[in-house]
Amino acid sequence: MNALPQENGDYFALDPLKPLELERGERLLYRLTEFGRILWEVGIDVGPRKMLDLAETLNYVDITNKEDFYTTLKCSLLAKHEQEAVFDQMYLYYWYMRNQIGKKKADAPGAAKRDEKQMRLPPSERKRLAEHLNSPQEQRKDLRPEMRDSERRRRADERSDEEMEDDTSTPQGLAYSAIEALRKKDFESFTWDEVQDAKKLMAEMRWHLGMRPTRRKRPARRGSYPDMRRIVRRNLKYGAELLELTWRETKFKPRPLVIICDIIGSMSLYSRLLLHFIHTISNGLLNVEAFVFGTRLTRITRQLRKRDVDDAVRDVSKSVQDWSGGTRIGDALHFFNQKWAKRVLGRGAVVLIISDGWDRGDASTLEVEMDRLQHSCHRLIWLNPLLGSPDYRPLTIGMKTALPYIDNFLPAHNLDSLINLGNLLATIDDSRPARNAVARRKAVAAWSKGYSSQRNYHVPGQPQELPS
C-alpha cells in the first residue's frame, strides 16, 4: 500500500489524480483520506486517528469485494446510528457517482483547478444534506433517488461552475444581506424555506449556557483545595516533606434549562423555533427539560432526545383536544408545580416560558403559580413573541398578572431576539436577581412601556454575531 500523502499545509494543493490511476485503485489511501474529509465536512466525526485505524483494518479484508469494503468503512468510520443515512449517501456519492464526474471533468480545460474544488461538496448538495440532517425520519427515506436526480441535472448543467464559486461566501450560500433580513424578520411571516434557513443559521451559532459551580472538585494547576492524594504521592520522593503542592478546584457545569412552551395557534411556530434554538445551544438538549401546554401540560423531553423537535411538537398538538378553549396558563403551571417542579427544578434551573399571555383561565391561579414557580427556580424568563412589535403593551390579564413574577421579559419573534436570549443565558451566574417589591414595581413599569425601552443584552466578549 502507498504512503499517505505528505501534509504540506494546504491539503488541496496535492497533485490532482489522473483518472487512470483512480480506475486502477492506486493510491487508495489518498482516496480514503479524501472520503474522510467529505464525511468530516458533513458532520461525521472522522479524525486522522480513525483514518489510520481504518487503513490498518483494511489489511484484513478483501477490498475488491464491494460489500466488505463498504462494511469495513462503515463500521470503522461511523459511530452513531443517526448518521447512518448520511454516511450511505456520501458513500454512494463519493465511491460511485463522483468518479464519473471526475472523468468528465478531466477532459475539460482547467480540470485541475476544478478538481480542487470538488473536494468540497457542491453547495446544492450541502444544502440538501444540512436540511436532511434536520428533517424528520419519513422525509429522509426518499432522499437517495432525489439525490441522483439532482446529480444528473447538475451534470447536464454547465452553470455548476459558477455555483461552486459562490461556495466560499457564507456557510449555507446565503448572502450577508439575506442573513441580515432573515434575522430581523418575524417568524410568523417566514416561508417554509426561510424556516429551514433559520434553523441552519441557528445550527452554526456557538454559545455556552450559563454555568453553575458544582460541589465536585477536579484536579487543577491552581485551585483552592489541596489534592491530598496526589500531594502524598508526589512528595514521597522527598520523604515526608511536602514540597510540591497540587490543587483541586470547583468544577462547573451548565445550568439546567426548563422550557415551558405554549403551543396554541401561532405560538406553536415560535415554540418550535425556540426549541430548535435551545437544541443548538445546549449540546443536544442534554441538560434541558421541555414541556408544552395547550389546555394541559405535557412533557416532551424524552421525545425530543430521540426525535426531531418538529415531530414532537406536532404529535402533542395533535393530541391537544380543545383548541377553542384557549390557553390555561395558570392550570398548566399548577400542574407543573405539583408534578414536575420538584423533579426538574433542582440545581439552580433556569425556566423559560414562551407564551403570548392570552390566558383564559383564572387570574388568581396564575398569580399563585407564578409566585411559586419563581421561588423554586434560579431565573424565570418569559418570552413573548408579541413583544417584538413596537406597539405591543402587556395589557392582557394573563400577562399583567404574570409580569411581577418574571425576572426577564424578552421577545422571541425573530432570530435577533433569540440571539439576545442566547447572550442572556450565557451570562446567567450565581447571583440572584432582585425579587423584592420595589424591584418588581420598577421592572413592571419598564416592561409596560414596551420592548423598545428595555436594555439590550449585549455582553462584551460573547459571540453575538452570526458567523460569516
Residues lying near another protein in the complex (CB under 8 A): 214-217, 228-229, 231-232, 236, 239-240, 337-338, 342-343, 346-347, 368, 372
Q: How near is the Cβ of 239 to another protein at its closest, in Å? A: 5
Among 340, 179, 317, which residue's Cα sits nearest to residue 261? 317
CA dihedral over 98, 101, 107, 108, signed as positive or negative:
negative
Pairing verdict, β 288-293 and 350-354: unpaired
Closer CB to another protein, residue 182 or residue 341? 341
Q: Rounded CA gap, 317 and 325, in Å?
A: 14
Q: Which is nearer to another protein, 346 or 467 (CB)?
A: 346
Name the minimum Å distance from CB 342 to another protein.
Answer: 6
Amino acid at site 46: V
DSSP calls for 170-219 = STTS--HHHHHHHHHS-GGG--HHHHHHHHHHHHH----PPEEEEEEEEE
Closest to another protein by CB, 153 vs 216, is 216
Nearer to another protein, 21 or 430 (CB): 430
Non-local (6+) Cβ contacts of 19 within 8 A are 102, 103, 106
Q: How far is the CB of 232 from another protein (least distance, A)?
A: 5
Closest distance to another protein from the beta carbon of 337 (Å): 7
CB of residue 404 to another protein, shortest distance in Å: 18
Q: Nearest-CA neighbor of 86 among 151, 135, 149, 51? A: 135
Cβ proximity to another protein, 176 vs 238, nearer residue: 238
Q: How many Cβ atoms from other residues are within 10 Å of residue 260's Cβ? A: 23
Q: Which is nearer to another protein, 195 or 368 (CB)?
A: 368
Q: What cell was used for 183? A: 434575522
Question: CB of 382: closest distance to another protein in angstroms?
Answer: 22
Residue 154 or 296: the one with the smaller Cβ distance to another protein is 296
Distances (CA, A) of 362 to 231, 259, 330, 387, 464: 62, 22, 7, 23, 39
The answer to whether 407 and 433 are in contact (CB under 8 A) is yes
Cβ 436 vs Cβ 363: under 8 Å: no
Q: Radius of gyration of the chain from Cα atoms?
A: 27
- Taking the least distance from each CB to another protein, the nearer of 80 and 375 is 375
Residue 465 C-beta: closest distance to another protein, Å: 34
The nearest distance, CB 251 to another protein, in angstroms, is 9
